[in-house]
Amino acid sequence: MIAIIDYQAGNLASVKRSLQALKAEAVVTQDPAVVIRAPRLIFPGVGAAGQAMTNLKRLGLDQALQQAFAAGTPILGICLGAQIILDYSEENQVPCLGLIPGRVQALTGINPEVPGEPLKIPHMGWNEVDFVRPHPVFQGLPDQVNFYFVHSYYPAPAQAQWVLGITTHGERFPSALGYGNLVATQFHPEKSGRFGLLVLKNFLNWDGKC
């Protein structure tokens, strides 16, 4: 049973539908005890970091996530769930979960190809991910493949070795991370067609080790 963590940050139904398409059992939960017991976790989300952290703390899910991570449970973070796993977010200037050392930074919106013409923020739509390091969750994907994005901030881990994929929207930013039993995507695999389903399928078969 996969636990999809519900901290009132949306994006839950599409994740569950994708898992159902893969014939996987999943439960959407706000119960810290369920999170701690689950054999694997999906941590999705859209919205603002400050409200997300408030909700996690109010529900006791921050400590449950930290406990599950420390226990070696495979965890997949998606979008906002790929950001607030770091130490701190520039969005709302808020301390976050601290599962991965690093900070969440804002996209600049600067277009280097057309000086003076800003890029649209939020970054929304299909964009290429260049996978720079192998990982079981991204096994079987082309080196460069398009996924669906909706975001204004991105995760910037403290060590380059934790960056698995890179995307360009004016600037190059980390779009896939791996750290121990935690993998995270700034893009939305549940909205990214067959390659997104392959990412989810790989996660379901991943033992949390690289």
CA distances from 149 to 86, 170, 187, 208 (A): 19, 14, 5, 25
Query: Catalytic: 190?
Result: yes
Q: Which of 79, 123, 151, 169 is catalytic?
A: 79
Write the single-letter amino acid at 60: G
Per-residue pLDDT, 156: 98
Q: Which of 91, 123, 151, 190 is catalytic?
A: 190
The confidence score (pLDDT) of residue 114 equals 79
- Which position among 123, 151, 169, 188 bears the catalytic label? 188
Tens-of-pLDDT digits for all 210 residues of the chain? Answer: 899 999 998 779 999 999 999 999 999 999 999 999 999 999 999 999 999 999 999 999 999 999 999 999 999 999 999 999 999 999 999 999 999 999 999 999 888 877 778 899 999 999 999 999 999 999 999 878 999 999 999 999 999 999 999 999 999 999 999 999 999 999 999 999 999 999 999 999 999 988
Domains defined along the chain, listed by start: 2-205 (3.40.50.880)
